[in-house]
Structure 1
Amino acid sequence: MGALEAIRQLIRQGYRARPENLAGMALQAAELLGVTTLVIYVVDHQQRELLPLSSTRSPAGPAIAIDGTLAGRAYSTIVPAPGTLDTGEHTLWVPLLDGSERMGVLHATASGPLDEQSVTDLTTVAAMIGELVVTGDLYSDTIERLRRREPMRLAAEMLRARLPPLTFATSRTVIAGILEPCYDVGGDAFDFAVNGDTAHLASSTPSGTAPPVACAPSSWPP
């Protein structure tokens, strides 16, 4: 019942919410889910760090590296990662997804262990929050500024606006791609389309080296 009510509350608030409101909305949802805190982290464009959204009740904390951390494990494997803080509180990192596109993670803390139902509830709520993050990013620069770790050149700005999702998955296929460097591209690009049973891939690169794009059979979700 807690997860259902949390989703209802997020939907009601989401109609008029700004990206600046999302961190506070997550904290309100935490009360319905029986956890102490819920903090939203979004990934930077190079997929090296996870960056927290802040609010008046939840001041911005430090960025978290993806490599070698529980947060990064949840982001990379798309599987919730439990742990314990130095204070004795129990913690859970839940992947934040838009479909199969990884947007970041949701961090929950609780005074006691989180059972299987709690993990399921938090995963469900994370899916709703992921949708709100994507929607807010369409009409505001708040989340985009946070995800950028350095200025972006005009060519990169224009290209990123035309890229498809960096990750797409069905029960049979996973497609993933990324551009590096992402802040100053030289014309490299990729595109894909999935029509029926056929996946079409295309890449363009003036340098002669194709941007990294992979397509493989899938057993998604893991």
Structure 2
Amino acid sequence: MLDLRELMDMAEAASPVEAIDVMADAMAAMLSATDVWFWITDLSGRAVARFGGTDANAARLHQGAAEDVPVVQLAGTVYEGVLRSQRPDLRTDRDGSRLIVPVTDRGDTMGVVEVRLPETPDGFAIADIAAAARALAYVVVGSRRHTDLFEWAQRSTPFSLAAEIQRRLLPSAFTCEAGQFTVSGWLEPANAVGGDTFDYALDRDSLHLSITDAVGHDVTAALLATVLVGSLRNGRRHQLDLLDQAGRANDALVAHSRPGEFVTGQLVRVDRARARLAVVNAGHPLPYRVRGGEAAVIELGIDIPFGLYAGHEFAVQHVDLRAGDRIVLVTDGILERNAEVVDVEALLAATADRHPREVVYTIGEEVLVATGGDLRDDATVVCLDWHGGPPLGRPD
């Protein structure tokens, strides 16, 4: 039987670079398991790498030696099935059984735990292992702040400087399940990284979303995006309203860019009590709404992009939400000429019953297929599902 308190105590006592192995060894001892492995998802979303486990000494991730770590392409594998369904998978053979369970934090998939056992586990044991995998997710979140090992494991291809900058502008978790809503984002980088970003943050009363696209490519675009996203986060953390956030970010971009450089974007504030969106649309492609299984563009006025004129006052527009609504934001990489065969509205209608995490990934995959993998611009999508109901905050 697994003792979660003991597992967490042991992980906390270990070095951040050893915590996963310590938990795996402890789980193996408690379960009398042959092996316990943690497979971490690659940043591409298309592979998993064996990050740690009971045989980690045979394939340990060291700086400069990531090629020694086993990597499995997800397509068609049991790992893909578990990650997408978020359900355990149990298989038995003459050597025993293999159980694979998801490692997920608030809907953000981090990987899977694979447990090999000499006997077939019962329902209680499976539930215990699934609970340990959820605990492992918290260990991953806490440990990765102190080491680059997790980043090394998740990179099947080296990052350019522009890609490194862009990575730092994205949220630390691409998905968040939070009672009233679920939000998920995905970015498919172009061959020459563009300046796309997305971001979200939750406070007591509101959910803040942004999606932006800086003109140009590589480091130039990444630096423009850095100024804009940094200013937006700074304004948000000063508790400015949406209008003032937009104005401050625009003025910062004017002050720190050259003539002709700009960023398009959408800023969204979700009033959680009133179920209402406030939107600033700065020269950006229009968002979509899926309601009752049907997808359509939300008709909004289009303001000028950020960075053109200091002191510009952006228009704030409002959209009411109903329980069950899905709001989807995209950058123009989804709509570019070599991706134009992707019918976004039809794709959104066809995926209306899927989790937002699956929706954004599916759209990214469709764009890659449509372009033959030759993305000329970053392609980014954010999906918000509004479940409704009151905010579940603590009483004042």
Residue 332 of structure 2 aligns to a residue whose secondary structure is coil
Name the aligned partner's letter for residue 74 of structure 1.
Answer: V
Residue 10 of structure 1 aligns to a residue whose secondary structure is helix
Q: Retained in 2: the 8 A contact 1:44–1:148?
A: yes
Residue aligning to 1:76 = 84
Q: CA 1:216–1:152 in structure 2 vs 1: closer, same or farther (change >3 Å)?
A: same
Residue 11 of structure 1 aligns to a residue whose secondary structure is helix
Q: CA 1:34–1:121 in structure 2 vs 1: closer, same or farther (change >3 Å)?
A: farther
Q: Which one is further off, 130-139 or 198-207? A: 198-207
Per-residue deviation, 1:173: 1.7
Structure 1 spans left out of the alignment, 5+ residues: none
Query: Is 1:209 equivalent to 2:308 in the alignment?
Result: no
Residue aligning to 1:141 = 148
User: Which TM-score applies when normalising by structure 1?
Assistant: 0.85
1:50-97 deviations in whole A, cap 9, x for unaligned? 110246833336322222111111112211111235x53211111112
Using the alignment, how far apart are the partners of 1:148 and 1:141 within structure 2? 11
Per-residue deviation, 1:168: 0.6
Map 1:99-178 → 2, pairs under 5 A: 99-164=106-171, 165-178=173-186
Residue aligning to 1:8 = 6
Percent of aligned pairs sharing the same letter: 25
Name the aligned partner's letter for residue 38 of structure 1.
Answer: V
Residue aligning to 1:28 = 26
Q: Retained in 1: the 8 A contact 2:11–2:139?
A: no
Using the alignment, how far apart are the partners of 1:11 and 1:56 within structure 2? 18
Query: Is 1:179 equivalent to 2:177 in the alignment?
Result: no
Using the alignment, how far apart are the partners of 1:111 and 1:145 within structure 2? 33
Q: Which has the larger radius of gyration?
A: 2
Using the alignment, how far apart are the partners of 1:170 and 1:56 within structure 2? 34
Q: CA 1:7–1:183 in structure 2 vs 1: closer, same or farther (change >3 Å)?
A: farther
Per-residue deviation, 1:114: 1.6
Residue 18 of structure 1 aligns to a residue whose secondary structure is coil
1:83-116 deviations in whole A, cap 9, x for unaligned? 235x532111111123321110000111121211
Which structure's relative contact order is higher, taking Cα pairs within 8 Å and 6+ residues apart?
A: 1
Per-residue deviation, 1:18: 3.0
Using the alignment, how far apart are the partners of 1:189 and 1:205 within structure 2? 7
Q: CA 1:75–1:183 in structure 2 vs 1: closer, same or farther (change >3 Å)?
A: farther
Structure 2 spans left out of the alignment, 5+ residues: 60-68, 216-330, 334-379, 389-396
Using the alignment, how far apart are the partners of 1:130 and 1:53 within structure 2? 13
Q: Retained in 2: the 8 A contact 1:20–1:55?
A: no
1:134-191 deviations in whole A, cap 9, x for unaligned? 2221111112111111111222212222322200112332111111128863110011
Per-residue deviation, 1:20: 3.8
Name the aligned partner's letter for residue 53 of structure 1.
Answer: F
Q: CA 1:158–1:206 in structure 2 vs 1: closer, same or farther (change >3 Å)?
A: closer
Q: Retained in 1: the 8 A contact 2:35–2:55?
A: no
Using the alignment, how far apart are the partners of 1:74 and 1:196 within structure 2? 33
User: Which TM-score applies when normalising by structure 2?
Assistant: 0.50
